[in-house]
Amino acid sequence: MGGVREVTDFIFHHDGQRLPQGGPGTIPVLMYGAAPLRRRTGSIGGPVRSTVRRLGVPVPERAHDLLTVAMAVTAADTFASRETPDGQKEAADGWTRNLRLRIPLANPTPWHPLRPLLEEALHFLSGDLWTLEFLPDGPQRPAPQRRGARIRLHGHDGVCLFSGGLDSAIGVLDLLADGRKPILVSHSYRGDAEKQESVWGSLPIKVSRFAANAYPESRLGYPNDVQMRTRSFNFLAFGALVAATLAQRELVPEPVDLIVPENGLIALNPPLTARRIGALSTRTTHPHFLGLVQRLFDELGLPVRITNPYAKKTKGEMLRGCADQATLVRIARETVSCGKWKRTGKQCGKCVPCLIRRASFHAAGMRDPTPYEPTNRDLAAVLPREEAADDLMALVLAAGRLPTTDVARWVGRTGPLPTDMAERQALLDVAQRGMAEVEDYLNSLGLIP
């Protein structure tokens, strides 16, 4: 297959005694394991079991099997290198991997006919080729925790993904102002967890939070892939597990809302340059991907409805329209948008998410309180530093081309758009308005020729 590397086999099991030895092209992974058992193996999901137990009630079997599938996908995405040990690209295109996963489930029967749908969704999400095999004898649902700190379900009416970012903070504030009370669901990776805790603790109304860390660990002799392009599938699986549990306990009418707060420009993420269509153009909340996952939920019989209430709003419009401005002003500094901040603990101020964040404050007429990396606060000084200005230059060029851009063709390059013409036009409009916010901000700094 031209341009695609050889197949990497991933073999999963929750019983370490039943995992084979690792070797070239084969990576055994201990499912819900605390650490890899030996060299050439990996583990994933050790802390997740205890978080699921803290729900205090049995979770639906199909939702737990979805979680197991998501753990396996995250492991493969993390452990399959895009480079050889000597640093050479595995694939001719420098990106596409060929991944085969053998995943034992508690009940694999409903998953067999859904293989093509899930493989399509994952291919769209990561750009890799996925082959999934669902086997019996998978991990059973953990026994509920009966004592100690448990996650309160009663009194909540839905689920909201909560990353600690600006969009997710606005999403929660708007829900609370509207009288809603969602359970917040988080990926509590190192670094993210502290920011999430800070924002959560500052909310005007106390709500429950399900915070889990997939914790992929390996002893493979090379670094993990840090792109984690499939992290949103894992995020949605966490959310679906909690939402389906609410429905099972008859605490919320079906279907239960699973809210994904993301501004329309970032969700669509049209490529800024031709070379960004692959590796640099993520699709984590693209409407097409969310639609594929919704089909998966429906076919599995999970009573969960994915909703992005900001799919047709820009980030600036979200800021300006937030229903709780007082709390937003207080917590905005603690939210994180930067795609690179985990490396330094600071928001860089010059990557695409940071630049869109800066433009959104400008568009909303609000002071930006974000403590960006000091050397990058003056973007006019960043632009001549060629090694530091890649994202900034891409946005400058894209914003400069905006008046002559074929918007439908541009937005469509990252994925299919709705066939309904009104829905399609609304998405094209939000992409154009979002880029106009960026253009206006860059113009205000004198950066667009």
Q: 189 lies in a domain?
A: no
Return the pLDDT at 103. Answer: 98
CB of 107 within 8 A of CB of 61? yes
| pLDDT of 240 strictly over 90 | yes
Q: 394 lies in a domain?
A: yes
Give mean pLDDT, residues 193-207.
Answer: 95
Q: 32 lies in a domain?
A: no
Q: 348 lies in a domain?
A: yes
Task: Please spell the DSSP secondary structure of 149-210, one letter per residue.
Answer: S----TT--EEEE--SSHHHHHHHHHHHHTT--EEEEEE--TTHHHHHHHHHHT-SS---EE
Return the pLDDT at 85. Answer: 47
Q: Which residues contact 241 (CB under 8 A, 6 or more apart)?
A: 52, 59, 60, 63, 64, 66, 67
| 448 confidence band (pLDDT: 50, 70, 90) | confident
Return the pLDDT at 4. Answer: 53
Give mean pLDDT, residues 401-418.
Answer: 88
Return the pLDDT at 298. Answer: 98
282, β-bridge pairs:
none
Give mean pLDDT, residues 124-134.
Answer: 96
Give mean pLDDT, residues 120-128.
Answer: 95
Return the pLDDT at 387. Answer: 74
Return the pLDDT at 82. Answer: 74
Pairing of strands 42-45, 98-104: unpaired
| 226 confidence band (pLDDT: 50, 70, 90) | low
Return the pLDDT at 84. Answer: 53
| 279 confidence band (pLDDT: 50, 70, 90) | very low
**Nearest Cα to Cα of residue 447 among 401, 396, 376:** 396
Q: Which residues contact 368 (CB under 8 A, 6 or more apart)?
A: 357, 358, 361, 362
Instruction: Pick from 69-78, 216-225, 371-380, 407-416 the range whose average pLDDT is largest.
Output: 69-78
Is the preceding peptide bond at 255 cis, omega within 30 degrees of 0?
A: yes
Q: 353 lies in a domain?
A: yes
Higher pLDDT, 175 or 397: 175
Q: 389 lies in a domain?
A: yes
Q: 356 lies in a domain?
A: yes
| pLDDT of 281 strictly over 80 | no
| pLDDT of 2 strictly over 50 | no
Lowest mean per-residue pLDDT among 111-115, 229-233, 343-347, 439-443: 343-347
Rounded CA-CA distance 105/125 in Å is 23
| pLDDT of 33 strictly over 50 | yes
Average pLDDT over the chain reads: 91
| pLDDT of 86 strictly over 60 | no
| pLDDT of 95 strictly over 90 | no
Rounded CA-CA distance 440/174 in Å is 27
Domain count, the chain: 1
Task: Please spell the DSSP secondary structure of 14-74, one letter per residue.
Answer: S-GGG----BTTEEEEEEEESS-SSTT-EEEEHHHHHHHHTT-SPPPHHHHHHHHHHHHHH
Cβ neighbours of 391 (radius 10 Å): 21
Return the pLDDT at 90. Answer: 46
- Domain, as residue range, for 438: 337-444
Q: 396 lies in a domain?
A: yes
How does pLDDT run across 291-314, given as a tens digit for each residue?
999 999 999 999 999 999 999 999
Return the pLDDT at 272. Answer: 86
| pLDDT of 239 strictly over 70 | yes
